[in-house]
């Protein structure tokens, strides 16, 4: 399965490692090239510098073939815009967004985009409720993700 992550901070890099450790492919998008230094040294995925809500950047990341998309940058507006694009334009099955403002999160939850509060939920929680792939340990909620 192919995953796309927007945001190469602590949450994004931890999530990327968990996905690659499960044998999945992934692309990670960040608007700051320096952020990719946070990735582990044997990272095999695709690194894209750009805005995660930019259509061309999402296409380069393989959004059309993505099983899941996680918007975990430190910008609520960018996260929700990118998540809505993934869901509504590209029909990605599993989409999650990290949102800092609980009032905004309520609105987006009603739009069908699961939101997680930045810094509170561990990265594996993002996929636990969203990922329903039966062979995935994240699906079973294994805490060692």
Q: Which tens digits make up the pLDDT trace of 75-95?
A: 988 998 999 899 999 999 898
pLDDT at 7 (0 to 100): 96
pLDDT at 43 over 60: yes
pLDDT at 135 (0 to 100): 38
pTM: 0.78
With beta carbons less than 8 A apart as the criterion, state whether 7 and 74 touch.
Answer: yes
pLDDT at 24 (0 to 100): 95
With beta carbons less than 8 A apart as the criterion, state whether 83 and 113 touch.
Answer: yes
Structure tokens at 45: 């995925």
């Amino acid at each position: 399965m192919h995953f796309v992550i927007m945001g190469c901070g602590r949450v994004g890099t931890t999530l990327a490692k968990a996905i690659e450790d499960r044998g999945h492919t992934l692309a990670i998008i960040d608007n700051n090239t320096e952020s990719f230094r946070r990735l582990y040294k044997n990272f095999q995925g695709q690194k894209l510098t750009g805005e995660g809500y930019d259509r061309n950047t999402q296409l380069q990341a393989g959004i059309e073939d993505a099983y899941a998309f996680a918007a975990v940058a430190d910008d609520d507006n960018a996260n929700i815009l990118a998540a809505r694009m993934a869901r509504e334009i590209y029909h990605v099955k599993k989409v999650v967004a990290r949102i800092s403002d609980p009032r905004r999160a309520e609105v987006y939850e009603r739009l069908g985009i699961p939101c997680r509060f930045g810094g509170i939920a561990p990265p594996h929680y993002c996929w636990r409720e969203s990922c329903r792939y039966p062979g995935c340990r994240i699906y079973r909620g294994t805490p060692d993700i």
